[in-house]
Amino acid sequence: MIDVIDHDDFRYETQAGDAMRGAFDWEMYYKRIPIPPELQKADPSDPFESPVMAGGLFAVDRKWFWELGGYDPGLEIWGGEQYEISFKVWMCGGRMEDIPCSRVGHIYRKYVPYKVPAGVSLARNLKRVAEVWMDEYAEYIYQRRPEYRHLSAGDVAAQKKLRSSLNCKSFKWFMTKIAWDLPKFYPPVEPPAAAWGEIRNMGTGLCADTKHGALGSLLRLENCVRGRGEAAWNNMQVFTFTWREDIRPGDPQHTKKFCFDAISHTSPVTLYDCHSMKGNQLWKYRKDKTLYHPVSGSCMDCSESDHRIFMNTCNPSSPTQQWLFEHTNSTVLENFNRN
C-alpha cells in the first residue's frame, strides 16, 4: 500500500480511500475502485487481489520476474510499466495481491528533476503495452485516443514472442476473470449520455461556461456561443450529463476529467476531479428543468448581475433555476429519475 509523504514538510498520510483495487479507464489513466463484496475479507488486514498495481513499488520473486522478461526494455523513461507488468503477471500464470499491513511512504514531487529526451512520450509506451497485451481491447483505447492509432510503438516482435512462449492467456480472460468489476466503473463502451451540449439558463438567456475548464475554477454565466463552431468548445460551453449522473465539460465522446461539484445548499458550483462515486457530484435533471443536487437538497441557481452560479433552496417557479440542455435522451433521463 502506497502512502503519501508530503513534498514540503515530509508529513505522512495514509493513501486516500485506503484499501482499494487498482484499475484503469480506457484512456489508460490509473484508477482505484472499491473492493467488491465478493472479495472482501472478514479481517481487513488480509491480502486481496488487485488487477493493476500503481507503479514501481512491489515485491516479487526475482527468478520469476526475469522468467517473465522483466520490464519491456522498449518502454522509455516513465509510464505504462505498471500496466505491462500487471497484465503480464496475471495473464502468464501469476497473481498479484495488495497487502494492507505492508506500507510504503512515497514523496510525490511537484516537479520533474530530469529532462525527457525529444521524441519520448507516455503515449508511445501506452500504445506499446496495448499492442502487446490488450488484444482486441486496444480498439477501445484508440476510439478514445485516436491519435494513438497511427503512433509508432516501435518493434514489439520480441515482446509478442515472449508472450507466446510463456503461454499467456488472452486479455479477454483478464477482463473476465481478474478485472471483472472494472467495467462497472469504466465500461469499454460508454453507455449513452442523458444530456449534452450547451446549458442555457431560462431566466437570463446566458449559458454555463467553465472559462477554459481549469480545475478548481468556478462555473460562470457567459453569453451563449452555440453555432460558432470551435468557439463553443474553446469557451467550454459544451457539457455532458453522463451515465454516471455527473456533469462534465466536453461532448459525450470527449469529456474532461472534472465534474460539477457542490458542497452545500449555498456554495458555488465548482469544477473538481471526477471521482465517479456520486456524492457531491451527483445531479438530477428534473422535468421542471431544475438541476437538483441530492446531497445538499438544493438546486443550481444563478445571478445575472455578477454571472455567478451557485446552489440555492429549490424554487421550480424561479426562471433562474431552470436550465435547458441543448440535447437530451428522454429514455436515460427517465431511468435516472425513476431510480
Shared domain check, 35 and 84: yes
> Which pLDDT does position 131 carry in this prediction?
95
Beta-bridged to residue 292, according to DSSP, are: 284, 299
Shared domain check, 223 and 110: no
- CA 222 to CA 205: how far, in whole Å? 9
- CA 270 to CA 283: how far, in whole Å? 13
230-269 residue pLDDT tens:
555 555 889 999 999 999 998 887 788 889 999 999 999 9
- How many domains are contained in the chain? 2
Shared domain check, 235 and 163: no
> Which pLDDT does position 232 carry in this prediction?
52
**Average pLDDT, stretch 41-62?**
90
Out of 41-45, 47-51, 142-146, the most confident range is 47-51
Residues 186/242, Cβ–Cβ less than 8 Å = no
Backbone angles phi, psi at 12, to 5 degrees: -100, 130
Shared domain check, 210 and 180: no
Identify the band that residue 2 occupies on the pLDDT scale cut at 50, 70 and 90. Answer: confident
Shared domain check, 102 and 12: yes
Shared domain check, 211 and 276: yes
Shared domain check, 289 and 141: no
CATH number at residue 319: 2.80.10.50
> Which pLDDT does position 211 carry in this prediction?
76
**Average pLDDT, stretch 71-89?**
91
Residues 98/19, Cβ–Cβ less than 8 Å = yes
> Which pLDDT does position 119 carry in this prediction?
61
Percent share of the chain, pLDDT over 70: 94
The reply to whether 258 falls in a domain is yes
Shared domain check, 124 and 240: no
Report which of residues 172 and 116 the model is more confident about: 172
Shared domain check, 139 and 216: no
The reply to whether 33 falls in a domain is yes
- Cβ atoms within 10 Å of 236's Cβ, excluding its own: 23
Beta-bridged to residue 328, according to DSSP, are: 195
Return the minimum-mean-pLDDT range out of 58-62, 75-79, 123-127. Answer: 75-79
The reply to whether 72 falls in a domain is yes
CATH number at residue 172: 3.90.550.10
Domain with 47 in it: 2-185
Q: Retrieve residue 144's grid coordinates.
A: 478514445
Shared domain check, 168 and 316: no
> Which pLDDT does position 252 carry in this prediction?
85
Identify the band that residue 109 occupies on the pLDDT scale cut at 50, 70 and 90. Answer: confident
Decide which of 156, 185, 214 is a domain's last residue.
185
Shared domain check, 138 and 66: yes
- CA 185 to CA 188: how far, in whole Å? 10
The reply to whether 190 falls in a domain is no
The reply to whether 128 falls in a domain is yes
What's the mean per-residue pLDDT of the chain? Answer: 90
Shared domain check, 273 and 313: yes
Q: What is the pTM of this model?
A: 0.75
Decide which of 157, 185, 213 is a domain's last residue.
185
Residues 223/207, Cβ–Cβ less than 8 Å = yes
Beta-bridged to residue 175, according to DSSP, are: none
Helix runs in the chain, H state only: 62-67, 81-91, 122-133, 138-144, 146-149, 157-165, 171-173, 182-185, 230-234, 330-338
pLDDT of residue 18 exceeding 90: no
The reply to whether 6 falls in a domain is yes
Q: Show Cβ contacts of residue 246 under 8 Å, excluding neighbours closer than 6 positions.
A: 259, 260, 274, 276, 278, 281, 282, 283
Beta-bridged to residue 33, according to DSSP, are: 21
138-169 residue pLDDT tens:
999 998 888 899 888 899 999 999 999 999 99
The reply to whether 26 falls in a domain is yes
Q: Show Cβ contacts of residue 165 under 8 Å, excluding neighbours closer than 6 positions.
A: none
Angle between helices 81-91 and 122-133 (to 10 degrees): 10
pLDDT of residue 118 exceeding 70: no
The reply to whether 63 falls in a domain is yes
Decide which of 129, 150, 185 is a domain's last residue.
185
Return the minimum-mean-pLDDT range out of 71-80, 92-101, 152-161, 240-249. Answer: 71-80
Identify the band that residue 111 occupies on the pLDDT scale cut at 50, 70 and 90. Answer: confident
